[in-house]
Structure 1
Amino acid sequence: MENGTAIQTKLLMSTERLIYAGGINATGMDAIVRESGVARKNIYRLYPTKELLVAAALGNRDQRWMQWLVEGTSNGDPAHRLRAIFPLLRSWFDSTDFRGCAFINAAGEIGDPQSAIRAVTALHKRRLLKYLEDLIRACGIAEYKEVAWQFLVLIDGATAVAMVTGQAGAADCAGRAAELLLRASSPEKEQ
């Protein structure tokens, strides 16, 4: 017999897979019950609404995605770590299950800016922005907050373009733009 933590983990992973592959609104509770093997009454005991279940599943994805990004960019000085983001993204874009940014996808489906789902999507972008700010500040870039926003736009733009076009090379293009941005912002740039 599975313990409560194992059941909850299986439920959240199944929910995440389904909503990432097909969308929140297209994923019914019947599909979640079938995929997870968790009884509907147990699901509603853990998460009284589908919105809370989806928000929890996205919260788990945020944790894993940020860990993947940090670990994948953990070698070298801060500038090297920033440059490593784009080849890492390319590997993700090349994967067979790539469907774009789960957080942008979810925010696009949920109109209510006060929903629990939108709160998780905003939290994810704040966490990503903070990680970028920390790296860019460590590079000695005075306008680190602005440059971090620009990096976020490059990351999300590349992700959206790769999803829409099926071209993983969007990461390479964004990486070249990021390199220009780093050079232009660097305290060592030539005057």
Structure 2
Amino acid sequence: MENDRSTSSDARERLLDAAEALVYAGGIHATGVDAIVRAAGAARKSFYTWFESKDALVAAALTRRDERWMRWFTEGTEKRGRTPRTRLIGMFDVLREWFASEGFHGCAFLNAAGETASPDDPVREVARLHKARLLAFIGEQCEAWAQTVGADRRVAARLARQWLILIDGAIGVALVSGDADAALDARAAGRQLLDAFAPRPARSPRTRDAGAEQDARKVVR
């Protein structure tokens, strides 16, 4: 009985592997249960033992992918720099490696969410959770950056939301164009965003007076 359970558990992992690979490459609607079962080398009975539907299998596969992707992205980011700014910028170098890798098909979570009509769909919920986790990680880096430049947490929160858009935008452009350098364009935009969000040093009264005199001279001329 114990061996039967072990074998069944192994079949579950193979089903998850097959579902993730096939859905990522071809989409949810284009991937049938029979194709997943065949690719997994499992019996159809194993599918129904573990999953009540194809959507449940896809949601489970995406949940597992979320854990793996976040671990990869977090570790890659932390290796890219010792300061919050270099880590934030380094995120795009991590992405570029992904974009240039064989089998890149964009963001599995955005792709899957785009195939679901209901916001309450289990697949959409997993996609929403993934983006929330990614935003939380970006937010941690933005808060650390804000502390180094003297910005408040509201600035960090706005920066994090815009940084997520840069990341998702780069993924989308890389997918459609086939150009991994979309990450470099996003990185350049990220540098400008950090500079724009950084508080400007307050000018001394003498500096303000000098500036006013220069403006006055410009008006006279």
Query: The TM-score by the shorter chain falls in which range?
Result: over 0.9
Structure 2 residue aligned with 1:152: 164
Are positions 1:72 and 2:84 aligned together? no
Q: CA deviation at 1:109?
A: 0.6
Q: Give secondary structure in 2 for the equivalent of 1:100.
A: coil
Q: Give secondary structure in 1 for the equivalent of 2:78.
A: coil
Are positions 1:127 and 2:133 aligned together? yes
Contact 2:96–2:183 (CA under 8 A) maintained in structure 1: yes
Are positions 1:6 and 2:18 aligned together? no
Q: Distance in 1 between matches of 2:142 and 2:17?
A: 33
Q: Could you give the per-residue CA deviations for residues 6-64 of structure 1, whole angstroms, max 9, x where no partner exists?
A: 33222111110000000000000111011111211111111111111000000011111
Q: Distance in 2 between matches of 1:31 and 1:163?
A: 25
Higher relative contact order (CA 8 A, sep 6+): 1
User: Counterparts of 1:31-180 in structure 2 under 5 Å?
Assistant: 31-75=35-79, 76-140=82-146, 141-142=151-152, 143-180=155-192
Alignment size in residue pairs = 190
Further displaced range: 178-187 or 108-117: 178-187
Higher helix share: 2
Q: Distance in 1 between matches of 2:127 and 2:49?
A: 24
Contact 2:11–2:46 (CA under 8 A) maintained in structure 1: no
Q: TM-score, normalised by structure 2?
A: 0.82
- Residue type at the aligned position of 1:53: L
User: What runs of 5+ residues in structure 1 fail to find an aligned partner?
Assistant: none
Percent identity over the alignment is: 46
Q: Which has the larger radius of gyration?
A: 2
Q: Distance in 1 between matches of 2:7 and 2:64?
A: 18
User: What runs of 5+ residues in structure 2 fail to find an aligned partner?
Assistant: 203-221
Q: TM-score, normalised by structure 1?
A: 0.95
